[in-house]
Amino acid sequence: MAYIKLKDIAKKANVSINTVSRALNNKSDIGDDTKIRIRRIADEMGYILNASASRLRSKENRMIGVIITHIDNAFYARILQGINDAISEKEYTMLALSSGENLEKEKSLLKTLVSNRVAGTIIVPSQDMINSLDYDNIGVPHITIVRKGNKNTRSYFISDSFQSGIKAAEYFIQQGCSHSAYIGFNLPVSCNRDRVNGFIKGLRDAEVILKENRIIHCDATPQAAYNAATEFLKNDKQIDSLFVYNDSMALGVIRAAHDLKIRIPEDIRILGHDDVAESRYYIPSLSTIRVPKYRLGYDSASELMALINDNKAPEKYVSYLPELIIRES
C-alpha cells in the first residue's frame, strides 16, 4: 500500500499542497478552522510525516549512526536503549549496524554512515588493541564506547575492566578459593586484556599466582566457552573458581560443569561479567560483575549531542566502576 502524500490530502480537502503543508506545520498564516479540518483529514487518511523529505528541505540530518560488534548480543540491548532514549529527547533517530568484530566491515559501515550524512556516530571499535582506524577522518562528531579505539581522539565511555578483574580476584579469595582460572576472548580487545590483568594482580596481592595454563581464550560464544571449559575442567581437577569474560560465555561454562557432574558452587565458583538480564534466571543464577549498560549508552549519546552542537566541546573520558553481583554460582 502506498504512503499517503500531501497531494492526496490536498485533493480530498480541496486545497493546495502548500496549504496542507503549512497547516500541518502550524503556520500562522493559515486559519485555525482550516488547520483543524486538514489535520482531521490527514489523521483519517493515516498520513505520517516523511522525515527524510523534511531533512532534505531543512538540510539538517537528525540521524545518529551506531556501530556495535554483535547486534544480537544481549549486552548491547540496554546500551542501545540508553542511546535511543537520549537522542529521542532531542528528536534524533538511530541507525544501528553490526561489524561482527571485522575491521574491514567496520570501515565499510563507517563509509555507509557518512554517505547517509549522519549527524554523529557512536562506535564500539572492532579488535581495538590493533584497530588503526583514524575516526577523525569520518568527518562527523564521534564517540567510542565499551572499548577505546587506538586512534580515537575524541571522547570515550567505558567500564573499568581492570577493576572488574580486581573485584573477581578479591571475591574468590574471600570465598577461600586458591586455584582460580580465567576463560576469555581470543581477539585483541582491551576489555579482555584489562580483565585478565586485573585478575592476575588481585590474586597476586593475596599471594595467589594465576598459572599461565589456567588462562584460556576462545570465541566469545556460549558454545565455544562450553567446549573450552569441558576440556579444561577434565584435565585440571583442582580448579575451584572461574572468572569468565562475559555472561554469555559463563552460561556455557555452567553447562559444561553440570555435564561433568561438577557442583556449583560447592566444587567450583563461576563468575561472569556484564550482568545481562538472562544471568539471574539461569540455574544456578549467575554471579557476575555489573556494567551500567543503560547509563553508558545514555551518557555517551548525550555527550554526542553536545559535540554535534559544538564540535569544539572538550574531550570527555568516562570510566564507570563495575559492581560485584553475588547470586548462586
Q: What span, in angstroms and rounded, lies between the C-alpha atoms of 71 and 97?
A: 7
Q: Give the mean model confidence (pLDDT) for residues 90-95.
A: 90
In the predicted model, is pLDDT for residue 49 greater than 70? no
Q: Give the mean model confidence (pLDDT) for residues 75-102.
A: 93
Q: What span, in angstroms and rounded, lies between the C-alpha atoms of 62 and 173?
A: 50
In the chain, DSSP assigns E strands to 63-68, 93-98, 120-123, 142-145, 156-159, 180-185, 215-218, 241-244, 269-271, 288-290, 317-320, 323-325
In the predicted model, is pLDDT for residue 142 greater than 80? yes
- Domain-wise residue ranges, the chain: 6-49, 60-159+293-322, 161-290
Report the CATH architecture of 60-159+293-322.
3-Layer(aba) Sandwich (3.40)
Nearest to 322 by CA among 272, 265, 286, 277: 272
Q: What span, in angstroms and rounded, lies between the C-alpha atoms of 276 and 223?
A: 17
State the chain's mean pLDDT as an integer: 90
Q: Same fold for the domain at 60-159+293-322 and the one at 161-290?
A: yes
Cell numbers standing for residue 193 = 586484556
Q: Give the mean model confidence (pLDDT) for residues 110-117.
A: 85
- Within 10 Å of residue 150's Cβ, how many Cβ atoms? 16
Q: Give the mean model confidence (pLDDT) for residues 83-87.
A: 95
DSSP element (H, E) containing 84 = helix 74-88
In the predicted model, is pLDDT for residue 46 greater than 90? no
CA distances from 192 to 80, 139, 165, 245 (A): 21, 30, 10, 7
Give tens-digit pLDDT for 217-275. Answer: 999 999 999 999 999 999 999 999 999 999 999 999 999 999 999 999 999 999 999 99
Sorting pLDDT into bands at 50, 70 and 90, what band is 115? confident
Tell me what pLDDT residue 56 has: 46
Nearest to 244 by CA among 260, 265, 228: 228
161-290 is a CATH 3.40.50.2300 domain: yes
Tell me what pLDDT residue 59 has: 52
- Packing angle between helix 293-309 and helix 74-88, nearest 10 degrees? 40
The alpha-carbon radius of gyration of the chain (Å, integer) is 25
Q: What span, in angstroms and rounded, lies between the C-alpha atoms of 82 and 298?
A: 4
What percent of the chain has pLDDT above 70? 95
Sorting pLDDT into bands at 50, 70 and 90, what band is 195? very high
In the predicted model, is pLDDT for residue 53 greater than 70? no
In the predicted model, is pLDDT for residue 99 greater than 60? yes
CB 268 within 8 A of CB 241: yes
Whether this prediction's pTM lies above 0.85 is answered by no
Residue 311 Rama label (left phi>0; alpha psi -120 to 50; beta): alpha
In the predicted model, is pLDDT for residue 39 greater than 90? no
Q: What is the DSSP string of 113-146?
A: HHHTT-SEEEE--TTTTT----GGGG-S-EEEES
Sorting pLDDT into bands at 50, 70 and 90, what band is 158? very high
Sorting pLDDT into bands at 50, 70 and 90, what band is 326? very high
Q: Give the mean model confidence (pLDDT) for residues 108-131.
A: 88
Tell me what pLDDT residue 54 has: 53
